[in-house]
A and B are shown apart, each in its own frame.
Chain A
């Protein structure tokens, strides 16, 4: 059974700092997704990573995928308050099932 694990689960950081969220998964897959969820809101697609070594960047967020290590990272550069949210990674499981990690709740303090 495909398992997706994120760490840390909770992250409190100051504005201007850099940090990385890690996403490990248990079986071979070359499709990994990052989503953002604001409190009480829906999930919004951030990145789609489709191959080993894929790197995507949008503003202060950069995601990468290492399929051999079964690891994806979401790097936050010079964090700002607006990035406070819960971030999920998800991996394609068998069939069309998308398996999500537990989510990382990110709080960015002024």
Chain B
């Protein structure tokens, strides 16, 4: 157990639907990252939050949004789902988020596997 908790583990839904993926970071970590892993795109960085604020944005579609709450858990919302959104979505956390003074090792959760039919 890495200490990063993601729910649900598996999710099957239909095109056009909306889902929410949830992540609780490791105790003490302030940063949360979301990554999408698919066979053809590899591991793609989506977005990062640090202590409730958006810190960095990657290749996140406009149909996707995320937020980090005061208790530091984060949610990734995926809407108007398409077949191509089927992927493994990872959440990761780290202590750092501002100026990095050394290693910024991410701890990954087990992932949420999304299947869009």
List residues of B whose CB falls within 8 A of some A CB: 2, 31, 33, 35, 42-43, 45, 48, 50, 55-56, 58, 90, 92, 94, 96-97, 100, 102-111
**Known contacts A42-B108, A42-B109, A103-B42; A96 and B100 CB within 8 A of each other:** yes
Which has the most chain A C-beta neighbours within 10 Å: B31, B42, B94? Answer: B42
In the assembly, what is the distance between CA of A39 and CA of B106, in Å?
A: 19
Q: Is A92 on the interface with B (CB-CB < 8 A)?
A: yes
B45, closest chain A residue (CB): A97
Across the interface, which residues of B come within 8 angstroms of A41, CB to CB?
110
Of A33, A43, A96, A99, which contacts B90 at CB under 8 A? A43
Of A35, A42, A48, which contacts B110 at CB under 8 A? A42
Q: Contact between B104 and A45 (Cβ–Cβ < 8 Å)?
A: no
6 closest residue pairs by CB, A with B: A100-B43, A95-B56, A43-B108, A48-B103, A42-B108, A97-B56
In the assembly, what is the distance between CA of A37 and CA of B76, in Å?
A: 22
Across the interface, which residues of B come within 8 angstroms of A96, CB to CB?
31, 33, 48, 50, 55-56, 94, 96-97, 100, 104
